[in-house]
Amino acid sequence: MSIFKSHIVQMEAYNPPLEGRGPHDHLLLDFNERTLPVCPSVKEAMIDFIQADRLQCYPSYGNIAAKIARYCNVEADQLMITNGSDQGIELIIRSACREGEEAIIPRPSFAMYQQVARVENLNIIEPAYSKDNGFPRQAVLDVISDKTRLIVISNPNNPSGTIVAREDILEIAAAAPNAAILVDECYFEYTQQTVADAVEQYPNLLITRTFSKTWGLPSVRLGYVISNSENIRALLNVRGPYDVNQLAVVAIDAALSNPGYTEQYVKEVMEVSKPMFEDFLNSKGIDYWPSVANFIWTFPNNPDEIEKHLRSHHILVRPKADDSGKTGLRINLGNKAQTESLIQTWSRII
C-alpha cells in the first residue's frame, strides 16, 4: 500500500522526449525553443557571478521583480518571479483549487495544466479547439458552473498557435468571477498580445510568462506571474523564499539590459522565417493550423516518414496528434538560414 494519495500513484509522469538532443548535433525545432545562442553578455554575467565566489550564498533577488515589471509595463507589486512558468502554473492551481472542484482546460494544450490539475484531483472539462473556429469561447462559457475554480487560457495555444481574442478572455473572466483565470502568455514576445493591463479590473486574472522561449534561457528556469497585488501577496505566501535560482536572476538581469538581441531574433522569426515556411507549406498543399506564434502545427500526408527523414538529417520536430488522433508535426521556426535548411531537407523527401 502506498503512503501517497491514491490518485497520484495512479497518474503518469509528464516525460517530454528530451534525451539525446543537443544544439551541436541537431537543429532543434521540437520544443519551441530559441534556436540561437543567448546574448554573449548573459553568458559573461553568469561566468562573472561564478568567479566572484558567491555560489555558497543563498539567493538574493534584489530589484529583479521591479525590473521585469518595468519591462512588462506593470507595477512591481503586480509581479512575482517563479522557477520557470511551470512553477507559476502550479502555484496558481494549488492555491486556487480544492479536490473535487472543476477546471476548464481546452484541449489540446500544454501538458502541465492537466498534470497539475490531476495532482490536485480536480474534475477536468475539456472543450476542444478546432482548426476552423479556433478557441472554443462559447463552449467554455457554456460549462462554467458554481464548481468552476480554474479556467486555463493558453494565449497563444500550444500546439496549435491559436490566438485568443482579448475580449473573449475578459468575457470569460467576468462570467466566472470565483474562478482563477490562468492566462499563459509564455509566447508573448512573438504576439505582443496581453491582458496584463486588466489585472486590477479583473481580480481573478493571473498571467504566467517565461524567459525560456524567446529569451533562450529554459535551462536556468525563470518565469513570472502577473496579477493584482493582493493575489501576488497571497502567492508569495506559497512560493518558497529560495525557489528561484540565483544564476537565473543574474542571466535575466543581463538579458533585460540588452533587449535588442532578443527583439532582432523575434523579428527575423516572425517576419522572415515564418512567412517563408508558410509559403512552402502552401506551395506543397500541406495542411496546417493558422498560427500567431513561432511554431506551426503541420499535417502532411506522411508525417512519420517526414519526421524520420528530418531526424536522419539532424533536424528534430515534434509529432503531435489532433483531437481525432491524426498525427501532425509541430515545427518551431528559427532564423532564415535554419528555415531554408528545413525546407530544403523536407523538399528532398517530397
- The amino acid occupying position 314 is H
Q: What is the pLDDT of residue 165?
A: 98
Task: Name the CATH topology of 40-256.
Answer: Aspartate Aminotransferase; domain 2 (3.40.640)
For the chain, the domains span 6-38+259-349, 40-256
Q: Which top CATH class is 6-38+259-349?
A: alpha beta
Question: pLDDT tens digits for 303-328?
Answer: 999 999 999 999 999 999 998 999 99
Average pLDDT over all residues of the chain: 96
Q: What is the pLDDT of residue 200?
A: 97
The grid cell for 170 is 475578459
- The amino acid occupying position 75 is E
Q: Looking at the chain, which runs of residues are DSSP E strands?
A: 27-28, 79-82, 102-104, 123-125, 148-154, 180-184, 205-210, 223-226, 287-288, 295-299, 315-316, 318-321, 327-332
Residue 254 pLDDT exceeds 90: yes
**Residue whose C-alpha cell is 508558410:** 278
pTM of the model: 0.96
Question: pLDDT tens digits for 106-157?
Answer: 999 999 999 999 999 999 999 999 999 999 999 999 999 999 999 999 999 9
Question: pLDDT tens digits for 185-208?
Answer: 999 999 999 999 999 999 999 999
The grid cell for 80 is 512575482
Q: What is the pLDDT of residue 16?
A: 85
- Residue 213 gets which letter from DSSP? S
Over residues 78-93, the mean pLDDT reads 98
Question: pLDDT tens digits for 230-250?
Answer: 999 999 999 999 999 999 999
Q: Are 253 and 45 in contact (CB under 8 A)?
A: yes
Residue 265 pLDDT exceeds 90: yes
- The sign of the dihedral angle between the CA atoms of 302, 307, 308, 313 is positive
Longest dimension (CA), the chain: 58
Write the CB contacts of 112 (distance below 8 Å, at least 6 apart in sequence): 14, 86, 89, 90
